[in-house]
């Protein structure tokens, strides 16, 4: 049975009033990879009557009234992606598709969906509290640089005029909020919940760290960098202090992050009765639903700390792993479905080979200030043995009805070199000819700013990958994710990367152009031209010409890019390598269709 999306569906359950109504920028796909259905199922399992309004028509308040007035609050999410990232390319051009909408149709959600949805709800039910969350609200919780307007915007809770913001993974704060409101506490008085932010007046909680004010960070890039540095220092939930930021006579208060879920709680979340299918009211296919239907999430969090990735700011760096029994039970349930044909499309998480990993000295981890456990060198306390992951994959392969188990999530290749058993199992049984890895770059100056392992580590991995594939007698290739236009990257750096690819026989067909998305270290560097960790200046590729030429250098093997490649080489004084880079008939075969990523 699905979560109700209409009044009739709610009444069929005997519910004439709902406790919490979710509003989502995504279509309703009843799968644990979709945040709103997962949270709705979670509250439902704890005795709350919940409904979902998926992709309402934001042009009219009536679309937000189809389930009536909730007894407790509305919960708003823009969807699985920031709505501006979903709508626009890195070149700020409008996209013409939306994988989270039936028929892959663009335009089913507005720009800045969190703000628009909240405004319509306040218009429809002025006295009903609105709680915002999801990736858009989470990463815009502070004053932040907005690439699409090229300016610093206020915290989204102020622009949305919402009553509370839940950031990060919302199970714990959302459930506690609903419980306390059900017991009669007014939302305005609930100011102590971890993983939440609210607007107040006065001085804020005792011991809070004060960030430079909105007025200062909007006017002064050095102040912006300082605010980012101070905020990033309080991401460890075990030692984090509250953060405050002034907006005139008002104060944004951001409580410490929610604590990681225990294995028992995480297992309970993924044991909920998901159908794994879109709501039956949809007649057109939803691309994202098709892509993830056969996938299984084994864990949350990532301790890689890449500069351009927001996972650490949203899910945290502590790995929260499900038990083997929980994952096996989920796959066993899938096997019994009439649409299952024997293949699991993915067993993984943000980084597949972090399942089961942890800090070997938890008391040290709870005091740790490092944002990355791998950069600049792997932490000596990090337990990297992948025995749990290998055992899990073995059990899944042995399940009756399962013919193939793929690992399609990206892997951290520098970590994989410390996991020979997982590496061997991956190449032998779980790679369908292509393995996705993300070196992103090879220039030391760029990889240091990216917080990536660098050229030498990738070279070692590439050789090991090819040797092991030959030993297995398999024709397998890498899909290397590479990025152009990252802060600190020059045309000369891109020439170095292009020459490296040609030397190693690697090609890509698409390139990820860096997009400054809210909440990341790289976006802070893009806006300020400063590395907030050191205060040092950083080159930022800003012009359309430089961005275009950087991308062209990674596509050196495509004849149509030759003119742009020559222009790039001339611009950085490297015409000496034109013959080497553009010589026909050399350079190896394509490594695979490295599709552009939305991060």
CATH number where 109 lies: 3.40.50.280
Taking 70 as the threshold, does the pLDDT of residue 425 lie above it? Answer: yes
Task: Give which of 75, 79, 80, 68 is closest to 44, Cα–Cα.
Answer: 75
pLDDT 10s digits, 534-571: 999 999 999 999 999 999 999 999 999 999 999 999 99
**How large is the greatest C-alpha to C-alpha distance in the chain, in angstroms?**
76
Question: pLDDT grade, residue 595 (50/70/90)?
Answer: very low
pLDDT 10s digits, 280-338: 999 999 999 999 999 999 999 999 999 999 888 899 999 999 999 999 999 999 999 99
Taking 50 as the threshold, does the pLDDT of residue 71 lie above it? Answer: yes
- Which neighbouring-strand residues pair with 146? 151
Same domain, yes or no, for 566 and 540? yes
Looking at residue 596, what is its pLDDT? 42
Question: pLDDT grade, residue 592 (50/70/90)?
Answer: very low
Taking 90 as the threshold, does the pLDDT of residue 432 lie above it? Answer: no
Looking at residue 218, what is its pLDDT? 97
Last residue of a domain, one of 181, 196, 211: 196
In the predicted model, what is the mean pLDDT of residues 574-588?
Answer: 77
Query: Any alpha helices (H) in 271-360, and if so which ranges?
Result: 287-292, 311-314, 324-335
353 in any annotated domain: yes
Taking 50 as the threshold, does the pLDDT of residue 587 lie above it? Answer: no
Taking 60 as the threshold, does the pLDDT of residue 112 lie above it? Answer: yes
Question: pLDDT grade, residue 583 (50/70/90)?
Answer: confident
Looking at residue 510, what is its pLDDT? 74
% residues pLDDT > 90 (the chain): 91
94 in any annotated domain: yes
Whether 196 and 243 have beta carbons less than 8 Å apart is answered as no
Mean pLDDT taken over the chain? 94
Same domain, yes or no, for 320 and 387? yes
**Which 3 state secondary structure label does DSSP give 515?**
coil
pLDDT 10s digits, 464-487: 999 999 999 999 988 889 999 999
Residue 228 — φ and ψ, nearest 5°?
-65, -45
489 is in an annotated binding site: no
Q: Encoding tokens for residue 195?
A: 């993983």
Burial class (CB in 10 A: 0-12, 13-18, 19+), 516: buried
In the predicted model, what is the mean pLDDT of residues 435-451?
Answer: 94
Same domain, yes or no, for 426 and 459? no
Report the run of H or E that residue 483 belongs to, with start and end.
Answer: strand 477-484
306 is in an annotated binding site: yes
Same domain, yes or no, for 401 and 508? no
Same domain, yes or no, for 138 and 173? yes
C-alpha 197/C-alpha 191 separation (Å) is 8
Same domain, yes or no, for 181 and 69? yes
Taking 80 as the threshold, does the pLDDT of residue 50 lie above it? Answer: yes
Distance of CA 415 to the CA centre of its chain: 20
In the predicted model, what is the mean pLDDT of residues 102-116?
Answer: 96
Taking 70 as the threshold, does the pLDDT of residue 594 lie above it? Answer: no
CATH value at residue 583? 3.30.750.200
Same domain, yes or no, for 414 and 446? no
Looking at residue 588, what is its pLDDT? 40
Looking at residue 590, what is its pLDDT? 40
Same domain, yes or no, for 333 and 471? no
% residues pLDDT > 70 (the chain): 97
Same domain, yes or no, for 34 and 176? yes
Last residue of a domain, one of 432, 447, 472: 432
130 in any annotated domain: yes
572 is in an annotated binding site: no
Taking 70 as the threshold, does the pLDDT of residue 584 lie above it? Answer: no
Last residue of a domain, one of 145, 169, 196: 196
In the predicted model, what is the mean pLDDT of residues 9-22?
Answer: 97
Looking at residue 494, what is its pLDDT? 97
The total domain count for the chain is 3
Q: Encoding tokens for residue 454?
A: 């660098």
**Full domain range(s) for residue 146:** 7-196
Same domain, yes or no, for 331 and 424? yes
263 in any annotated domain: no
265 in any annotated domain: no
């Amino acid at each position: 049975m699905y979560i109700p999306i209409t009044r009739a569906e709610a009444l069929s359950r005997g519910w004439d009033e709902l406790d919490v109504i979710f509003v989502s920028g995504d279509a309703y796909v009843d799968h644990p990879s979709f945040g709103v259905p997962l949270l709705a199922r979670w509250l439902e399992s704890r005795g709350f009557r919940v409904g979902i309004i998926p992709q309402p028509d934001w042009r009219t308040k009536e679309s937000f009234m189809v389930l009536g007035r909730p007894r407790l609050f509305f919960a708003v999410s823009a969807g699985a992606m920031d709505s501006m990232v979903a709508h626009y390319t890195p070149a700020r051009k409008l996209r013409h598709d939306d994988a989270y909408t039936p028929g892959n149709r663009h335009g089913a959600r507005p720009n800045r969906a969190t703000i628009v949805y909240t405004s319509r709800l306040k218009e429809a039910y002025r006295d009903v509290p609105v709680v915002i969350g999801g990736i858009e609200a989470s990463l815009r919780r502070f004053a932040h640089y907005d690439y699409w307007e090229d300016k610093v915007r206020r915290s989204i809770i102020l622009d949305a005029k919402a009553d509370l913001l839940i950031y990060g993974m919302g199970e714990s704060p959302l459930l506690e909020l609903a419980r306390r409101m059900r017991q009669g506490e007014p939302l305005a008085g609930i100011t102590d919940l971890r993983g939440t932010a609210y607007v107040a007046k006065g001085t804020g909680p005792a011991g809070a760290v004060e960030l430079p004010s909105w007025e200062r960070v909007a006017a002064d890039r050095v102040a912006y960098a300082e605010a980012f540095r101070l905020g990033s220092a309080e991401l460890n939930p075990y030692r984090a202090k509250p953060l405050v930021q002034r907006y005139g006579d008002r104060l944004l208060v951001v409580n410490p992050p929610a604590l990681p879920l225990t294995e028992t709680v995480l297992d309970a979340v993924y044991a909920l009765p998901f159908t794994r299918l879109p709501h039956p009211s949809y007649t057109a296919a939803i691309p994202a639903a098709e892509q993830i239907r056969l996938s299984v999430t084994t864990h949350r969090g990532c301790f890689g700390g890449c500069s351009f990735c927001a996972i650490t700011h949203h899910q945290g760096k502590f790995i929260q792993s499900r038990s083997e029994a929980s994952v096996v039970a989920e796959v066993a349930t899938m096997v019994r479905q009439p649409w299952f044909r024997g293949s699991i499309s993915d067993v993984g998480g943000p980084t597949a080979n972090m399942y089961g990993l942890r800090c070997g000295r938890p008391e040290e981890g709870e005091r740790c200030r490092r944002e990355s456990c791998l950069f600049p060198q792997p932490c000596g306390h990090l337990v990297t043995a992948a025995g749990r992951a290998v055992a899990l994959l073995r059990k899944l392969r042995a399940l009756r009805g399962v013919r193939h188990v793929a690992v399609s999530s990206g892997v951290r290749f520098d970590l994989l070199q410390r996991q020979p058993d997982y590496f061997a199992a991956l190449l032998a049984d779980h790679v369908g000819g292509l393995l996705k890895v993300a070196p992103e770059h090879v220039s030391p100056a760029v990889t240091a700013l990216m917080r990536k392992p660098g050229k030498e580590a990738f070279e070692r991995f590439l050789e090991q990958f090819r040797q092991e594939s030959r030993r297995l007698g398999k024709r397998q290739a890498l899909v290397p994710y590479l990025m152009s236009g990252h802060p600190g990257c020059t045309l000369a750096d891109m020439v170095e990367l292009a020459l490296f690819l040609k030397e190693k026989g690697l090609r890509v067909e698409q390139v990820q152009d860096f997009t400054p998305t809210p909440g990341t270290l790289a976006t802070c560097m893009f806006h300020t031209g400063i590395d907030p960790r050191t205060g040092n200046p950083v080159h930022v590729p800003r012009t359309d010409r430089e961005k275009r030429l950087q991308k062209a250098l990674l596509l050196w093997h495509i004849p149509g890019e030759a003119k742009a490649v020559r222009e790039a080489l001339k611009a950085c004084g490297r015409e000496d390598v034109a013959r080497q880079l553009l010589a026909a008939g050399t350079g190896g075969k394509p490594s695979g269709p490295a599709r552009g990523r939305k991060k």
